[in-house]
Amino acid sequence: MKKNRFPFLEAAAIAAAGTGALLPSLPYGGRIGLVLLAVLLAAGDIVLRMRLEAQQENRLSAVEQRVQEAQRQGEAASGRIREEAEEYQKKTKEKLAAFYSKVSHSLRIPISVIQGYADLLESGLIQDENVRHEYLSKIRERTEYMNNALGQLLTEARLQADFSIGLWEHFDLLELLQKVISDMEDAAQKLGIRIELSSELRRLPFEGDRTRLTRSFYNILENSLKYMNTAGKITVTVSVADNQVLIVFKDSGAGMEREEAEHIFELNYRGSNSVQGNGMGLYLVYVTAIAHHGSVTARSSPGNGMTILMLLPISQQEFSSPPAGDSPAE
């Protein structure tokens, strides 16, 4: 059955028709009553139609407002995306310029030296075979230096661009630490060093990059084994508070000056007790901590060993933007 949109108007029409049929037989008062009834029904219908139209206009107005608000938000989001893209492009250009400057500075002098020796050999002025052999050895040395320097510069560029994580994984962080410590035990025992894991936890569900954290834990422990200079112990303590995990690596080695300890996470930094390496291992630890929206610090003093504290959020749900990748030295 079709629903009538104007019931009062239909009722008024019926009333009017009935009035026309009944008017001759009704007294004067009855005629007036029927006419008033028809008028009231018609007026009620007009009011109802006005209300319906007003409601429709209100609904249309609300829809238009929502559409306009969505357009404004879309324009604002597009503006933010455009600004972020421009800022990223600017930073990329600055990093590339710095990289090119480093390459030029590192390779310009050895290339000049190689060219000088090569020109002398090509000129035929050097007849002494021993001198010729010496010049060829110098060219080889400079070539090896350039190869190493370029490799280190490329590694630096990769590390400086590696402040974000492409794949987040869910795993047991305590189990990962236990595996790393187990892998390091043989090397530690040969040096008379014992590695212990201390935690009241049995499991520690965690969200992060398993590969990079594994490499960072290895780097920290290897650093302790390299610089302890004596038999002793490395204690790894794990605790959780406020949805964050604190991992403390403490060794009983020789330690270093507090001022030096403040710089150990800087790229290419090598302390006064440096024995080998290129100063990238602990910088990688720093980059990994920042990529996880965490932090890493070091405490030390002569004779009191080294303590490295890594603080990481257990879950990444509250973080929606990539972390800032500033240098620890800044």
Query: Tell me, what's the pLDDT at 44?
Result: 59
pTM of whole model > 0.75? no
Predicted confidence (pLDDT) per residue in 266-305, tens digit: 876 766 555 555 567 888 899 899 989 999 999 998 889 9
Question: When comparing pLDDT for 37 and 55, which is higher?
Answer: 55
Question: When comparing pLDDT for 214 and 164, which is higher?
Answer: 214
Nearest to 306 by CA among 262, 268, 270, 240: 262
Q: Is the predicted pLDDT of residue 307 greater than 90, yes or no?
A: yes
The Cα 102–Cα 35 span in angstroms is: 100
Q: Is the predicted pLDDT of residue 180 greater than 70, yes or no?
A: yes
The percentage of the chain sitting over the pLDDT mark of 70, rounded to a whole number, equals 61
Q: Is the predicted pLDDT of residue 32 greater than 60, yes or no?
A: no
Q: Is the predicted pLDDT of residue 218 greater than 90, yes or no?
A: yes
Q: Is the predicted pLDDT of residue 260 greater than 50, yes or no?
A: yes
- In 244-294 the beta strands, taken as DSSP E runs, fall at 244-251
Question: When comparing pLDDT for 276 and 330, which is higher?
Answer: 276
Q: Is the predicted pLDDT of residue 83 greater than 80, yes or no?
A: no
**Average pLDDT value for the chain:** 77
Split at pLDDT 50, 70, 90, the class of 33 is low
Split at pLDDT 50, 70, 90, the class of 165 is confident
Q: Which residues pair with 250 in a beta bridge?
A: 235, 307
Average pLDDT of the residues in 3-17: 51
Q: Is the predicted pLDDT of residue 254 greater than 70, yes or no?
A: yes
Q: Which domains does the chain have, with CATH numbers?
A: 169-313 (3.30.565.10)
Question: When comparing pLDDT for 73 and 274, which is higher?
Answer: 73
The Cα 7–Cα 96 span in angstroms is: 77
The percentage of the chain sitting over the pLDDT mark of 90, rounded to a whole number, equals 27
Question: When comparing pLDDT for 9 and 81, which is higher?
Answer: 81
Average pLDDT of the residues in 68-82: 68
Nearest to 295 by CA among 308, 304, 278: 308
Question: When comparing pLDDT for 45 and 295, which is higher?
Answer: 295
Q: Is the predicted pLDDT of residue 330 greater than 50, yes or no?
A: no
**Is 271:283 a contact under the CB 8 Å cutoff?**
no
169-172 vs 244-251, strand pairing mode: unpaired
Question: When comparing pLDDT for 290 and 97, which is higher?
Answer: 290
**Is 214:180 a contact under the CB 8 Å cutoff?**
yes
- In the chain the beta strands, taken as DSSP E runs, fall at 169-172, 193-199, 205-208, 232-241, 244-251, 295-300, 306-313
Predicted confidence (pLDDT) per residue in 101-123, tens digit: 666 766 776 787 788 888 888 88
Residue 110 Cα distances to 132, 143, 148, 295, angstroms: 18, 8, 12, 39
The Cα 234–Cα 195 span in angstroms is: 5
> Which of 23-27, 73-77, 121-125, 196-200 is predicted least confidently?
23-27
Q: Is the predicted pLDDT of residue 26 greater than 60, yes or no?
A: no
**Is 287:265 a contact under the CB 8 Å cutoff?**
no
